[in-house]
Chain A
Amino acid sequence: MEKPSLRTRILKFFHRHNNAKVFGILSPCIFWIGIFFLLPLVIMAIYSFLERGLYGGVNWVFTWEHYPRFISPIYLKILLRTFRLSFMATIALLLIGYPMAYKIARAPKRWRSILLFLVILPFWTSDLIRTYAWMLILRDTGLINNVLQFLHIIKEPIPLLYNEGAILLGLIYVYLPFMVLPLYASIEKLDPSLLEAAEDLGATPLWRFLKVTVPLTKSGILAGSLLVFIPSVGVYVVSDLLGGAKAMMIGNLVKLQFGMARNWPFGSAASFVLMTVVLFAVFAYLKFAGGKEALEEVR
């Protein structure tokens, strides 16, 4: 009798040991994400408890000193600005994104896919370039100032760039698709007959919206808010290009510590604070929106 080939023997081995097979299939992913994503995060957390080295880097001596610094007025201001702007962007995007998603979901079928695609397109394109485009519009010699001067409405250019308002506008612009897509998904699933029923039973349009539409699309509202709030808190490009040095956010503080300030442990601590906020937001979301299905909604 012929000896079974290596291939058959390997297949037989895996057939008997199902766990080994699953592990084999998943191991490249476990390896890559484990070594090049999770492990660096752990090391970063450790770094945030070490003493600062002279030329960047660290001395391997344990210290708490970096965390209390966040309570000092300069850094507290940055933290508060980050949360304020992210919160405002989330609320503004709910107000803009909901009607928009509603309209797309209720549009005629042949229109729906093209409208949706026009939201997906910016979702995948470079936010660096999309933010830069606003610099062209907002700067002193930019489009708005030029047009206003041309029309003799203003004499001197008004400073539109490098303030919190510009950051807020940038956040709203860059993250609009992140809000619309999950909202669309949940509004599309909404059964119109429920709305008709509410109407037949005498509900006014506003009451019907608040008591039927909103509760039934809660998962989309929560998912959209999460998908906007998290990247806003961690944003770097938008606040760097539109806010400049006068309106820093946490992301810019982290960058500064790894650039000119050369304080890696403090930068790691700031980054760790950011990560904690993100994880907290995800857990809060899972708790409110209810576990696994909620996770699916975000995807």
Chain B
Amino acid sequence: MRIAKYFNPLTWFTCLCYFFLYIPLCVLTVFSFNDSRFSVVWKGFTWDWYVKLVKDPQIIDCLYNSIVIALAAMVLSTIIGTLTAYGLYRYRFRGKMIFDGILFLPIVTPEIVVGISLLIFYTSILQMQLGLYTVIIAHTAFDIPFVMLIVRARLQGMDRALEEAAMDLGADELTTFFKVTIPQLMPGIIAAALLAFTLSFDDFVITFFVAGIGSTTLPLKIYSMVKLGVSPKINALSALIILFSMILITVADRLQRRAA
């Protein structure tokens, strides 16, 4: 009986799927420590590529841009998305279904469509210089629906009685919102903010179209490096970004599960 349990083909198949999901990332990480410029044949362990990365002023510039953009988009989208989630949860109004549907659109619209439509809008209609601002605006727009969904899920699991108790005890709506609703939502809001940051930090396609000369982000840098040829430096940078994203996602996941 026990042996049969271990030879269940479904279990094996699922294990294979997990290997499939993670092996490429492991390969990437392993070869970021490979002491060879051109080959993926293992030539010995080295930290060199990481050291070269930190010493490259261009990479540091891109890192700075990426962080500024992701932080700004995170703050803006978290505020707007939370307000929207609250409004949609709390009130009924005409056209709510349509509003819901429209908020669903940015999630399903192909990134390339979003990217070029914004490029046309910025350069031809608004005559704006492409730069950090244009990227921040674009990222905020695609972050908002995600924040809204995560905060809304949290709101649906919230105990309404606490809000009502606060109102009964004489708190006005604004006080209730800031002193009761927001603190209760906080784990969800922070999780949403972290995921918004990750989405923005990792975005390539939309950024590719709306970034200007001085606003190259890390994913754009990686892409142009890849186009020039595979190098262990890209592996090192990619491994670091993956690690960083995974930490943020893990924290967000923990927060979402806690008392949800």
Contact residues in B for A267 (Cβ distance below 8 Å): 116
A295 touching B230, Cβ below 8 Å? no
B118 touching A36, Cβ below 8 Å? yes
Contact residues in B for A18 (Cβ distance below 8 Å): 91
| Contact A268:B25 (CB < 8 A) given known A136-B31, A255-B112 | no
Which 4 A-B pairs give the minimum distances between C-beta atoms?
A234-B110, A133-B24, A40-B117, A25-B87
Residues of B122-158 whose CB lies within 8 A of A = 124-125, 137-138, 140-142, 144-145, 148-149
| Contact A130:B226 (CB < 8 A) given known A26-B83, A26-B87, A44-B116 | no
Say yes or no for B174: interface residue by CB 8 A criterion: yes
Q: Which of B10, B93, B219 contacts A128 (CB 8 A)?
A: B219
Q: Which of B22, B102, B198, B238 contacts A33 (CB 8 A)?
A: B102
A128 touching B223, Cβ below 8 Å? yes
Closest residue of chain B to A251 (Cβ to Cβ) is B112
Say yes or no for A102: interface residue by CB 8 A criterion: yes
A29 touching B138, Cβ below 8 Å? no
A11 touching B173, Cβ below 8 Å? yes
**What is the predominant secondary structure among interface residues of chain B facing chain A?**
helix
Closest residue of chain A to B26 (Cβ to Cβ) is A133
Contact residues in B for A235 (Cβ distance below 8 Å): 110
- Give min CB distance, B192 to chain A, whole Å: 12
A282 touching B108, Cβ below 8 Å? yes
B120 touching A32, Cβ below 8 Å? no
- Give min CB distance, B32 to chain A, whole Å: 10
Closest residue of chain B to A117 (Cβ to Cβ) is B253
Closest residue of chain A to B252 (Cβ to Cβ) is A124
A146 touching B41, Cβ below 8 Å? yes
Query: Chain B 93-121 against A: per-residue CB contact (8 Å), 1 yes, 0 no?
Result: 10001011111111011111110111111
Query: Chain A 123-153 against B: per-residue CB contact (8 Å), 1 yes, 0 no?
Result: 0111111101111110101110010001000
Say yes or no for B13: interface residue by CB 8 A criterion: yes
B138 touching A103, Cβ below 8 Å? no
Say yes or no for B184: interface residue by CB 8 A criterion: no
B25 touching A133, Cβ below 8 Å? yes
Contact residues in A for B241 (Cβ distance below 8 Å): 126, 129
| Contact A103:B27 (CB < 8 A) given known A29-B84, A124-B245, A275-B113 | no
A236 touching B25, Cβ below 8 Å? no
A176 touching B87, Cβ below 8 Å? no
| Contact A100:B14 (CB < 8 A) given known A26-B83, A125-B242, A133-B25 | yes
New A-B contacts (17) at CB < 8 Å, excluding given A124-B195, A136-B31, A141-B38: A25-B86, A26-B84, A33-B103, A36-B140, A41-B109, A44-B113, A120-B249, A124-B199, A132-B222, A142-B40, A177-B21, A230-B108, A234-B110, A236-B110, A237-B204, A251-B110, A271-B112
**A–B complex contacts, Cβ < 8 Å, 19 sampled:** A25-B91, A32-B80, A40-B121, A41-B117, A47-B120, A58-B124, A103-B10, A125-B246, A128-B222, A129-B242, A134-B24, A136-B28, A136-B230, A236-B110, A236-B111, A237-B205, A275-B109, A278-B113, A292-B97
Q: Which of B27, B106, B112, B205 contacts A37 (CB 8 A)?
A: B106
**What is the predominant secondary structure among interface residues of chain A facing chain B?**
helix
- Give min CB distance, A238 to chain B, whole Å: 11
- Give min CB distance, B240 to chain A, whole Å: 10
Contact residues in A for B144 (Cβ distance below 8 Å): 29, 32-33
Say yes or no for A198: interface residue by CB 8 A criterion: no
| Contact A36:B138 (CB < 8 A) given known A125-B246, A136-B235, A254-B112 | yes
Closest residue of chain B to A267 (Cβ to Cβ) is B116
Say yes or no for B6: interface residue by CB 8 A criterion: no
B81 touching A29, Cβ below 8 Å? yes
